[in-house]
């Protein structure tokens, strides 16, 4: 079945929806839903787009009494039950990897409710009673056009996180943004700071991990969603459209590009503000440190210790740094980094602290740490080959560097 056929024939969509409902065995759930209930949102959208989603999110709207209905369903099937919003009556039922949100209809008509949803592509409803689709905002047409649009500017203001969700759909679905919606976003981007920082963090992570993350991140920078017009003038931020990402293999892209993209839209202050981890902030500081150092000094001008320190500090995420290097060096550096036996790109040691303490009779402390670093550097530059050589070199180093007692 072709996607175009699904988009142009509502009966095919209904058929796929009903097969899906049957597959998940929702009959016991549907029996508790009153007349006038309907399915809406991303579940229908993903059915239409034929997206395979591991964690299924379902949104059901009922005319009234959502909490009572949700509790009865939960008790009947033995699922986890959460009240998300007591005042507005929004509940969640969790069954394995399926999350079902049940909410009260808040407008006098279904169209009124659908008009308040974030985007038209999430405003298509399946009416359980009539077994038909209701699409007053032409969401199916927008799905066919791969277009993001919204009914009203107020829809963004009601939950400014929708500004970021827009870019998430660019990243995940490769959709374009309607010009009217884009105007709303640029006008209201500052309201994003009213949103809980954890929610912003979640959306950013979704954006940078999407299949079309590059385009979404490019747009976030272009419209300065996270900062002033001067933010990206900092030389640390690169021109994302002029980078050859093909230098990374697929696994490297999936592992290291998301963090690289995060560093390209947020500075360290914003990372902290949006609840990114201390480890991520530390890695960003290291990227900046070595970027600025290499702006003022060419790679071949680094002394041995500087070059060793670079690889030691960036070893675990070097592909995230690769685009700051001169283009003629990137391929060679990547290949050396891919070789786990390259002791410069993956600093290691022939001796550990316990072996040194046992054989050379020294204690824990700064001297031991300096010795381990020295031996690791000697190994990185191929001046050590085996255990005996490392022990001999360690003894020599201690004689020259250990404090002398009178």
List, in order, residues 6 or more apart from 188 with CB less than 8 Å away.
Answer: 153, 156, 157, 160, 163
Where a domain ends, among 253, 276, 299? 276
**Span 285-308, pLDDT tens digits:** 999 999 999 998 999 899 999 999
Q: Name the pairing type of β-strands 132-134 and 147-148.
A: unpaired
State the average pLDDT over residues 226-237: 83
Using the predicted structure, report yes or no on whether residue 6 has a pLDDT greater than 70.
no
Using the predicted structure, report yes or no on whether residue 2 has a pLDDT greater than 90.
no
Tokens of 180: 């009217």
State the average pLDDT over residues 168-191: 96
Query: Which CATH number does the domain housing residue 249 bear?
Result: 1.10.3090.10
Domain assignment present for residue 344? The answer is no
Are residues 151 and 264 located together in one domain of the fold? yes
User: For a pLDDT cut of 90, what percent of the chain falls above it?
Assistant: 78
Tokens of 244: 């050859």
**Span 206-216, pLDDT tens digits:** 999 999 999 99
Are residues 112 and 192 located together in one domain of the fold? no
Question: What pLDDT is stored for residue 202 in this prediction?
Answer: 96
DSSP state of 188: H
Domain assignment present for residue 406? The answer is no
Using the predicted structure, report yes or no on whether residue 7 has a pLDDT greater than 70.
no
Are residues 151 and 105 located together in one domain of the fold? no
Are residues 270 and 284 located together in one domain of the fold? no
Are residues 12 and 139 located together in one domain of the fold? yes
Are residues 228 and 306 located together in one domain of the fold? no
Which of 119-128, 357-366, 391-400 has the lowest average pLDDT?
357-366
Where a domain ends, among 257, 276, 295? 276
Using the predicted structure, report yes or no on whether residue 313 has a pLDDT greater than 90.
yes
Q: What is the mean pLDDT of the chain?
A: 92
Are residues 119 and 160 located together in one domain of the fold? no
Range of the domain at 358: 353-401
Question: What pLDDT is stored for residue 95 in this prediction?
Answer: 85
Q: Read off the pLDDT band of 242 (50, 70, 90).
A: very high
**Span 33-46, pLDDT tens digits:** 999 999 999 999 99
The C-alpha atoms of residue 276 and residue 29 are separated, in whole angstroms, by 39
State the average pLDDT over residues 41-60: 89
Are residues 152 and 125 located together in one domain of the fold? no
Question: What pLDDT is stored for residue 54 in this prediction?
Answer: 78
Query: Which CATH number does the domain housing residue 23 bear?
Result: 3.30.460.10
Using the predicted structure, report yes or no on whether residue 402 has a pLDDT greater than 90.
no
Specify the number of domains making up the chain: 4
Domain assignment present for residue 347? The answer is no
Domain assignment present for residue 25? The answer is yes
Question: What pLDDT is stored for residue 77 in this prediction?
Answer: 87
Domain assignment present for residue 362? The answer is yes
The C-alpha atoms of residue 358 and residue 48 are separated, in whole angstroms, by 67
Cβ atoms of 132 and 160 closer than 8 Å: no
The C-alpha atoms of residue 363 and residue 349 are separated, in whole angstroms, by 18
Domain assignment present for residue 346? The answer is no
Domain assignment present for residue 378? The answer is yes
Are residues 29 and 137 located together in one domain of the fold? yes
Where a domain ends, among 145, 173, 193? 145
State the average pLDDT over residues 117-124: 96
Are residues 175 and 51 located together in one domain of the fold? no
Question: What pLDDT is stored for residue 1 in this prediction?
Answer: 46
Are residues 291 and 209 located together in one domain of the fold? no
Question: What is the CA 388 to chain-centroid distance, rounded?
Answer: 47
Using the predicted structure, report yes or no on whether residue 25 has a pLDDT greater than 50.
yes
Are residues 241 and 172 located together in one domain of the fold? yes
């Amino acid at each position: 079945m072709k996607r175009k056929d699904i988009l142009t024939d509502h009966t095919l969509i209904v058929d796929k929806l009903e097969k899906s409902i049957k597959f998940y065995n929702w009959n016991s759930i549907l029996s508790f839903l009153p007349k006038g209930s309907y399915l809406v949102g991303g579940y229908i959208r993903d059915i239409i787009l034929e997206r395979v989603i591991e964690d299924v999110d379902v949104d059901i709207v009922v005319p009234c009494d959502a909490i009572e209905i949700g509790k009865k369903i939960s008790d009947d099937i033995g699922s986890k039950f959460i009240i998300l919003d007591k005042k507005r009556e929004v509940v969640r039922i969790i069954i394995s990897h399926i999350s079902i949100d049940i909410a009260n209809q808040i407008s006098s008509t279904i169209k009124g409710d659908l008009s308040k949803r974030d985007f038209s592509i999430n405003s298509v409803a399946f009416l359980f009673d009539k077994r038909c689709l209701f699409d007053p905002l032409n969401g199916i047409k927008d799905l066919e056009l791969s277009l993001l649009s919204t009914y009203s500017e107020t829809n963004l203001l009601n939950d400014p996180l929708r500004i970021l969700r827009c870019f998430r759909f660019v990243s995940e679905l490769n959709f374009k943004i309607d010009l009217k919606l884009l105007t709303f976003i640029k006008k209201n981007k500052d309201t994003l700071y009213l949103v809980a920082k954890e929610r912003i963090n979640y959306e950013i992570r979704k954006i940078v991990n999407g299949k079309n993350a590059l385009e979404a991140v490019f747009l976030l920078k272009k419209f300065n969603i996270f900062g002033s017009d001067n933010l990206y003038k900092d030389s640390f931020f690169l021109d994302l459209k002029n980078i050859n990402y093909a230098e990374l293999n697929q696994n490297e892209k999936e592992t290291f590009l998301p963090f690289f993209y995060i560093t390209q839209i947020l500075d360290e202050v914003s990372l902290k503000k949006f609840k990114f981890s201390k480890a991520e902030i530390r890695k960003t500081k290291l990227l900046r440190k070595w970027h600025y150092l290499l702006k003022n000094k060419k790679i071949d001008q680094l002394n041995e210790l500087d070059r060793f320190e670079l690889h030691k500090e960036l070893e675990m995420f070097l592909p995230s740094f690769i685009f700051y290097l001169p283009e003629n060096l990137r391929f060679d550096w990547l290949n050396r980094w891919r070789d786990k036996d390259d002791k410069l790109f993956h600093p290691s040691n022939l001796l550990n602290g316990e072996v040194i303490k046992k054989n050379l009779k020294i204690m824990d402390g700064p001297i031991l740490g300096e010795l381990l670093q020295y031996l690791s550097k000697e190994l990185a530059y191929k001046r050590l080959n085996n255990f005996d050589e490392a022990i001999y070199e360690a003894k020599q180093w201690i004689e020259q560097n250990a404090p002398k007692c009178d």
